[in-house]
Structure 1
Amino acid sequence: MCPRPSPRMLLALAVLAASPAWTQDEPTPLPGFELERLDPNPGLGSLLVGSGETLPIGGLRLMLLGNYQHQPLRLLDEEQQLEIVKNRVVGVLSGSYGVFSWLEVGAQLPVVLWQRGEDPRIGGFTTLAPQGLGTPQVHARLGLLSQRAQQPVDLSMDLVLGIPVGSADALSRDPGLRFLSRVVLGGRMGQVRPSLEAGVLLHPSVPLGASVGAKEIAGPEIRVGLGLSTVTAPLRGELSARASLPSTSPQASVEVMGGLRYQIRPGMELFGMGGPGFGLFPGTPLFRVVAGLTYTMEPPPRLVFIDEIPARQLQLQEAVRQAMRQAEEDARGPRPVSVWELNALSLEDPDKMMPDPRPLEGSTGSSGPPEPYEGEARPFQPSSPERLVLRGTVLFEQGSAKLPDSLPLLDQMAQILQELPESATVLIEGHSDAEGSVAYRRALSMLRAKAVRKYLIYRGVAAKRLQLRGFGADWPASTNTTEEGRRLNRRAELLILTAPPPGATAMPVP
């Protein structure tokens, strides 16, 4: 007969059975840090590298981006490779706004939508969260130089602050603040826009161990980027490369991406890019695929609506001043005329360099006798049967017939014309300030009108619907005695009419 076990013996057996569980090591959680290394450009420029430009005052840019990464986190030892994060999908929503001509501000919100990999408990780590909030960022872009202001290059400085409110369990948050400072240099060269950036990223130290290719993720981290994009719409190509040099690892992290952007409508683009990554530093995938949508809104040039009484008063005042100036010039007698002025009215290319409007050496005046128009030429004022749909103004630089880089007004007009019957037309009236001779001003005003016509034809408007006239400086919108007044006079007036105006003729397509 077996002896009955005592309570003390049962307690000892329970302790022996439970002892292996007590001695087994618990899985170690991976330290929380921001794994994402893609830093999309929230403003103008390519996806990875800015262009040095800032948005104009009131300009808005929104971007919705999704990116897939393959093997962004791999643990290595002498025997095996553990793919802690094998596949990862991150979505990013960002926006930027032009506060001043030299200041752009914005924010960016990333979200880890999905990630998975091998069981991290094999390496002694706890399981990662499949989703989580990323590190939100706020940024300011300071414009230092701008080609829009006739300076040689675009130059800006970016200041970016990352706020540690993301999910550490999803590897999308650093223990403290992140700070990025970089300088971006770019400019347009023909049909391409190259750019270069360099900066420093500072973020808290996170010990990881030698098995992940670095002892820790820490600051400072030097970042360098190169970008090259085409500027011809609606389809644009883009190639970017960015390298990171961590202070705690001898290996650089490099990503190269190329792709296309397609303008589906004015201000809205679809993009798709992809490329490989090089380096074992955490966050560098073997390859990455990016796709998304951008929306850019820039305020159009000022819209000018007809106010007949003030307009006629201003035109009468300027006509009297013009007559007085002309009488003074006639009293001085003739002056030498350059060969260019004799042939100026035949120029077709608005991108050609305009001549020096100053008088020739030895001449006594700044302009010669005016060349009369055929008939009585004056800016068109629609009558009641010719309903005005829209009227707008495009401004030009001094001595130039080159259109600005952004033309939302002309894009809007092209879209409106698609919805109007074929009888609707656009009257384009070119004007200039009072600089240079009469022939120079008239030729320049016609070149400005032709530049607008060329762009509208490119946007799909039939040439037969476009009618041109050039008035030189005869009908100014403001005074020519101040710089601001001269700036407003260097313009092309556009009128969308439901019926063709009399006396104006369409220009043939060159």
Structure 2
Amino acid sequence: MKRRELLHRGFALALALTSSAAVAQSAFPSFELERLELNPGAEGSLLVGMGELLPVGDMRFSVVAHYAHNPLMLEMDGQSLSIVGSRATAHVAAAYAPLDWLQVGLQVPALYQATGTEVEAEGYLRPSSFGLGTPVVSVRAGLLTQDDQGGVDLAVELGVGMPLGNASALASDPDQWRLAPKVMVGRHFGFLRAGVELGFLQRPTQALTPRVDPDDQIGNELRLGAALATTGRRLRWELNVRGMVPLTSQPGAAELLPGVRYLVNPTFEMFAMAGVGVGSAPGTPLFRVMAGGAFGDATPRRGPGESSVNCEPGLPHTIEECPDMDEDHDGVRNSVDRCPSEPGDIARSGCTAKDTDSDGLEDMLDACPFEPGLAANQGCPLRDADKDETPDETDSCPNDAGPADNRGCPVRDADKDGIDNDKDACPNEAGPVERNGCPESDADKDGVPNRIDSCANEPGDPKNQGCPGHVQPLVEIRPGRLVLLGKVFFEPSQARLLSRSHELLDWVARVIKEHPEMPLIVVGAHTDDRGFPDANRRMTQARAEAVRQYLISKGVPAERLQAQGYGQDRPIDTNATSIGRENNRRVEFIIVDSQSDKAESPR
């Protein structure tokens, strides 16, 4: 209290020394006296942030009536004067979460009643009883969220106070924006939540008694808060401790504020709070009380280790949400009640003696209560997933149909060519592995099998890819791919084909049309690592599609072609040299086997 006496006596002396010209106005400087800060989302505490955010899309709107007793005292000639003896304000707060990691908030205080002692003879007029306080807009970002595996809720917030308050009512700092960054952390402990916050208030530094003691100042300060709150009930309690550490010669202060909250219905909550203040910092009352209500999404969400508020009688909830309740009032808790919506017997785990599928077994003993089955099979029918008339329990291949004399498995190699039927493209005709089990075919009878013949319909020389000697083939057929004896060119950084690529692509179209045994060709376009990966992927997809459209224009059926842009993800050479990058900018033609999966989708 010594600091308060020095501050106030210095102020009294300043009043006595002011000129008569100063009598017409308040000798006290303009500053924001109000110290009540609401937590707009109020998921955990009404006053202290616990690192929590509203669920995405939720909104909360609060109205609070607040009374502070003796928030500003003056010591004069051994007598304590209540310069602001009582102060009544209304606070409107709102919060909204547009994203799962972002919450925006607003708090607007309005002074509607104030009383105090006027010392007009010394040049002091009592502050105004009515006026708008400092509106505060806040943005809160969630950094961490506690889950079932543990962790904490961690968030940061920036509050901005707008210079719109009434200066004559001690409800605004001088015409200057206020900044109030905060960091807050909290954790759930079963039916309790605990949290702390650390904030910084930036506002102008002012001397309260500049003529006598310039060291009596208000200005920047650290703000601290801690809270403990109960959870999981309509009636909840909380305890808040709030304090400030001045960064000027202003005295410090702290407040203890217990409160109670009651959820009337899912969209309306009532609350009240009272507390006492310690310290002589301006704005710290001897005691304060407040009461109000919140509207909108007022039901708190269920946190890790918490019970749900909705499990209270009269609130809507799901059976899974409240495992400890007895929804059907049959003496069996929801978590162990096999029939939680229908009253039953405790001996039957909450069910009645029913036989839904009429198979002679009551439901509580029936492993398949909705399908008739055999008692020897616990009431379930004999399963035959592959429909081969061999029950699954004796079927060695329950998902593949096969004869009973082969234990329900299919005959694996009907044509005895060493390739299982499920991989044999011609399961009833023997053929080599490279032909996927199909016999060799040679449509033009030139001794070159169709599978490697680039001129399948025209007799040719085996040394010339099966083409006549006067023809230079530009496409070589290899297992799983078509190898180009040339390069496909595009306009730089574009998907438009250059005309010098047409001859090569005409050969590709010819080969595909002459080989109907190739059911699907994937046109794959690649590039080097210059540029952004997503842009490269989009460009190569467009180039692959341009090649596909050209081949379709040359008579290749559209269903036999698929375009795939890989971007820079599959280099075949180094990207550190120009030659390597040139090799990586390429178009490939992959043959998809008729028995294999479809080509992968564009990424």
Per the normalisation by structure 1, the TM-score is: 0.56
Q: The residue matched to 1:463 in structure 2 has which SS?
A: coil
Q: Is the 8 A contact 2:56 2:98 kept in 1?
A: yes
Give the aligned partner of residue 261 of structure 2: 261
Mean Cα deviation higher: 198-207 or 175-184 = 198-207
- Which residue number corresponds to residue 391 of structure 1? none
In 1, are the aligned partners of 2:218 and 2:250 still within 8 Å (CA)? no
Report the CA distance shift for 1:464/1:72 in structure 2 as closer, same or farther (over 3 A): same
The answer (yes or no) to whether the contact 1:205–1:217 under 8 Å persists in 2 is yes
Find out whether 1:463 has 2:367 as its counterpart.
no
1:339-381 deviation line (CA, Å, top 9, x unaligned): xxxxxxxxxxxxxxxxxxxxxxxxxxxxxxxxxxxxxxxxxxx
Distance 2:92 2:111 in 1: 12
| Residue type of the alignment partner of 2:163 | P
Question: 2:36 is matched with which residue?
Answer: 38
1:49, distance to aligned residue in structure 2 (A): 0.9
Query: What's the offset of the Cα at 1:117?
Result: 0.5
User: Are the counterparts in 2 of residues 134 and 166 from structure 1 also a CA contact under 8 Å?
Assistant: yes
8 Å CA contact 1:48–1:241 kept in 2: the answer is no
Task: Name the stretch that deviates more: 174-183 or 149-158.
Answer: 149-158
CA separation of 1:466/1:132 partners in 2, compared to 1, >3 Å: closer, same or farther? farther
How far residue 62 of structure 1 moved from its aligned partner, in angstroms, is: 1.6
Kindly report which structure 2 residues correspond to 1:493-508, keeping only aligned pairs within 5 A, or say none: none
Q: Distance in 1 between matches of 2:20 and 2:316?
A: 77
1:220-299 matches, within 5 Å, as: 221-249=221-249, 251-297=251-297
Structure 2 alignment gaps of length 5 or more: 1-18, 343-350, 357-361, 365-603
Alignment of 1:467-482 (within 5 A): none
Q: What CA distance in whole angstroms lies between the structure 1 residues aligned with 2:299 and 2:275?
A: 35
Provide the rounded CA distance (Å) in 1 between the counterparts of 2:363 and 2:290: 46
In the TM superposition, what is the alpha-carbon distance from 1:194 to its structure 2 partner? 1.1
Instruction: Give the distance between the partners of 2:50 and 2:198, measured in 1 at CA.
Output: 12
Percent identical: 35
Contact 2:136-2:162 within 8 A present in 1 as well: yes
| C-alpha deviation, 1:51, in angstroms | 1.6
Shift in alpha-carbon separation, 1:28–1:452, aligned structure 2, 3 A: closer
Match among 303, 319, 324 for residue 454 of structure 1:
324
- In structure 2, the partner of 1:336 is none
Q: State the partner residue of 2:415.
A: none
Distance (Å, rounded) in 1 between the aligned partners of 2:274 and 2:300: 34
Change (3 A) 1:126 1:407: closer
Aligned-pair CA distance for 1:123: 3.8
Q: Distance in 2 between matches of 1:239 and 1:204?
A: 31
**How far 1:140 sits from its partner (Å)?**
0.7
Asked if 2 retains the 8 angstrom alpha-carbon contact of 1:212 and 1:282, the reply is no
Q: Quick one: distance in 2 between partners of 1:466 and 1:163?
A: 57
**What SS is found at the alignment partner of 2:189?**
coil
Query: What do the CA deviations read for 1:210-260 (whole angstroms, capped 9, x no partner)?
Result: 7999722212x1111111111131211111111101122352111111121
Question: SS at 2:71's partner residue?
Answer: strand
**Are the equivalent residues in 1 in contact too, given 2:32–2:170 (CA < 8 A)?**
yes
Separation (CA, whole Å) in 1 of partners of 2:297 and 2:363 = 31
Structure 1 residue 130: deviation in Å? 1.0
In structure 1, what is the Cα distance between the partners aligned to 2:200 and 2:225?
A: 12
Unaligned runs of 5+ in 1: 1-21, 302-395, 418-425, 429-448, 473-491
Q: Given residue 105 of structure 2, which amino acid in structure 1 is its aligned partner?
A: G
SS in 2 for 1:169: helix
Q: CA RMSD in A?
A: 3.9
Task: Give the aligned partner of residue 69 of structure 2.
Answer: 70
Letter of the structure 1 residue corresponding to residue 135 of structure 2: P
2:219 maps to 218
What is the aligned residue count? Answer: 328
Distance 1:503 1:187 in 2: 48
Code of the residue aligned with 1:117 in structure 2: it is G
TM-score (norm: length of structure 2): 0.48
Which structure has more relative contact order (CA 8 Å, sep 6+)? It is 1
Q: Assess, with a 3 A threshold, how the Cα gap between structure 1 residues 471 and 76 changes in structure 2: closer, same or farther.
A: closer
1:57-79: CA deviation from partner (whole Å, max 9, x where unpaired):
10112211111111101122443
Q: Which has the higher helix share?
A: 1
Q: Is the 8 A contact 2:53 2:103 kept in 1?
A: yes
C-alpha spacing 1:239/1:192, structure 2 compared with 1 (3 Å)? same
Separation (CA, whole Å) in 1 of partners of 2:291 and 2:322: 34
Summarize the alignment of residues 115-134 of structure 1 with structure 2, pairs less than 5 Å apart.
Answer: 115-134=114-133
For 1:34, what is the secondary structure of its paired residue? coil
Corresponding residue number in structure 1 for 2:23: 26
Offset at 1:271? 1.3
Counterpart for residue 209 of structure 2: 209
Deviates more, 1:22-31 or 1:121-130: 22-31
CA contact (8 A) 1:213 1:249 kept: no
Provide the secondary structure at the position in 1 that maps to 2:40. Answer: coil
Distance 1:462 1:132, change over 3 A: farther
Per the TM alignment, residue 266 of structure 1 is displaced from its structure 2 partner at its CA by 2.5
State the alpha-carbon separation in 2 of the partners of residues 403 and 151 from structure 1: 10
Amino acid at match of 2:329: A
Q: Which residue does 2:192 correspond to in 1?
A: 192
Counterpart code for 2:264: I
Report the 3-state secondary structure (helix = DSSP H, G, I; strand = E; otherwise coil) of the residue aligned with 2:172.
coil
Match of 2:166 in 1: 167
Q: What letter matches 2:263 in structure 1?
A: Q
Please name the residue that 1:98 is paired with: 97
Partner deviation per Cα, 1:173-217 (whole Å, 9 max, x = no partner): 111111111111111112211111111110112331179997222
